[in-house]
Amino acid sequence: MSIWEDLHYHRAAHAERPIADLFQSPARASQFSIAADDLLFDYSKTSVDAHARDLLVRLAEASGLSSRREAMFAGAKINETEGRAVLHTALRNLGGSVFVDGADVMGPVREVHARMVQFSRDIRSGRIAGAGGKYTDVVNIGIGGSDLGPAMATIALQPYADGPKTHFVSNVDGAHVHDVLKGLNPATTLVIVASKTFTTIETMTNAEAAKSWMAQALDTPGRQFAAVSTSAERTAAFGIDPSRVFGFEDWVGGRYSVWGPIGLSLMLAIGPEGFGGFLDGGATMDAHFQSAPLAENMPVMLALIGIWNHQICGYPTRAVLPYEQRLSRLPAYLQQLEMESNGKRVAMDGTVLQHASGPVVWGEPGTNGQHAFYQLIHQGTGVVPCEFLLGREGHEPELAHQHRLLAANCLAQSEALMLGRGIETARALMIRKGFEGDELERQAHHRVFPGNRPSTTLLYPRLTPFTLGQIIALYEHRVFTEGVILGINSFDQWGVELGKELAVALEPVLTGEATAEGKDGSTRNLIDYLRSR
């Protein structure tokens, strides 16, 4: 049998075994946890036992993970459908050399980073000022990876934000740019337009709206803009001074780009030193990923638990549940990271996948989620593997009692998911409440929790720039590992393109400049409604 078949066979043979039974071994928790640089990843509350883990590690070895990992860090063109290297790791490890097509790419990387540092210092100090003096606000206009990464990180690192107040605009819905700009002063606002090609339709539409807003109040709106783009020609035509344009190479994918110029808004918010700590955290996780044995490798085991839950056990979704309010955007960030990377239907050679690709990733921060969707997680008919994240301490010592309550809730949820509550316990509860006969049985069954629902927990000391860098790099390498095992390219996103192409063709239909000829009946009907007055 193949390793995949062995895994399915092992799962089938032990499908009814309660996870709690695995804790008959007193060493279960320590043997099914990994510590790395003050992080602790506990996967003991899953149905993976020692044999399943051995099979999963063999699966990773058979996939060629180690050689593929080495190729990525070395600058090989592992994004084979686009003929590109994958070097977001180079953005956070600024020493040494990495060669692509025979050229060392680290010189230009360091040069752009140094320009970002100087620009950030000048903006934060007021040496570079807007029409109304020192910049008080920064608006980052982007979408996808040009928005989710810096937006997530800026919220996460608010305790370190001592620079201009940072805002984010992404949706082409005019309400977004309108509502962000309406409370700001154009003369003291810096707008960063983040689009590699400077052609992304949503971003450029919002950029034009911001420029018009600036022009209504200022004679020289161009000095209020900066750009993250590789198109010197288009940024110049927009009116942005070349000294305010920061480019990056095509070997940095959008959803992996927060470590470089796309992170400019984050650097402006927390300062170059804080941003440096963020890069150091990512580089530390890179070193662990490259050196730790597979069974002791945190990104690898996080990926293998995901493979077990989704491809082997058949659980279709995964909930990311940070018990940290400032990580409120982490589930959305990881949703893009995983679903855009591994939401594929064909293998690298173009053949249809023989296994499910990536799962649906979703989530919200605790404890809010407990009062929203945990009902389904605990008592619904489907199983949702959960990934909890929790810091040992918060940033508000005066509210330490609230952090203890937060931590207690997190640990209680993972325990309840595993243990559940049986019918006998439920009956005893209802007897104490005075129920009898058929009504006792009815009420008791409503209070049964199936349990045996898997979860992992990632603990960290405190949410600092360094820690956030570790966490983001951990999940990046998790996605990479899953992609290698599934035999897919995690670094292209052709599924994003079709809808964008059709949208360009549909806009003139909505304005009446073109007809709906050739469109299906449903689309024509919807167009008729939107065009009616």
* C-alpha 377, offset from chain centre: 21
The pLDDT score that the predictor gives to residue 222 is 86
DSSP state letters, 474-515: HHHHHHHHHHHHHT--TT--GGGHHHHHHHHHHHHHHHTSS-
Distance CA 339, CA 318 (A): 11
The Cα angle at residue 254 between residues 231 and 252, in degrees rounded to 5: 75
DSSP state letters, 181-215: HTTS-GGGEEEEEE-SSS--HHHHHHHHHHHHHHH
DSSP 8-state assignment for residue 359: P
Distance CA 317, CA 244 (A): 42
Distance CA 447, CA 439 (A): 13
CA atoms 481, 335, 286, 46: torsion sign: negative
For 270, the 3-state DSSP assignment is: helix
CATH class, range 88-274: alpha beta
| Topology of the domain comprising 32-62+292-419+453-492 | Rossmann fold (3.40.50)
The pLDDT score that the predictor gives to residue 519 is 93
Distance CA 261, CA 346 (A): 32
Cα-based distances in Å from 366 to 54, 322, 323, 359: 33, 6, 5, 21
Environment class of 243 (CB within 10 Å of its CB; exposed 0-12, middle 13-18, buried 19+): exposed
CA atoms 221, 224, 230, 232: torsion sign: positive
340 is catalytic: yes
Distance CA 174, CA 217 (A): 19
500 is catalytic: yes
Q: Where are the alpha helices (DSSP H) in 239-345?
A: 264-291, 298-307, 330-342
- Are 292 and 36 in contact by the 8 Å Cβ rule? The answer is yes
249 is catalytic: no
The Cα angle at residue 182 between residues 178 and 186, in degrees rounded to 5: 110
The pLDDT score that the predictor gives to residue 498 is 83
CATH class, range 496-531: mainly alpha
Q: For the chain, which residues score pLDDT lower than 50?
A: none
The H or E element containing residue 444 is helix 437-446
Distance CA 54, CA 117 (A): 46
The active-site residue, picked from 249, 338, 340, 482, is 340
Domain boundaries, the chain: 32-62+292-419+453-492, 88-274, 496-531
The active-site residue, picked from 273, 371, 424, 497, is 371
Beta-bridge mates of residue 459: 40, 390
The pLDDT score that the predictor gives to residue 305 is 98
The active-site residue, picked from 51, 497, 500, 507, is 500
496-531 has the same fold as 32-62+292-419+453-492: no
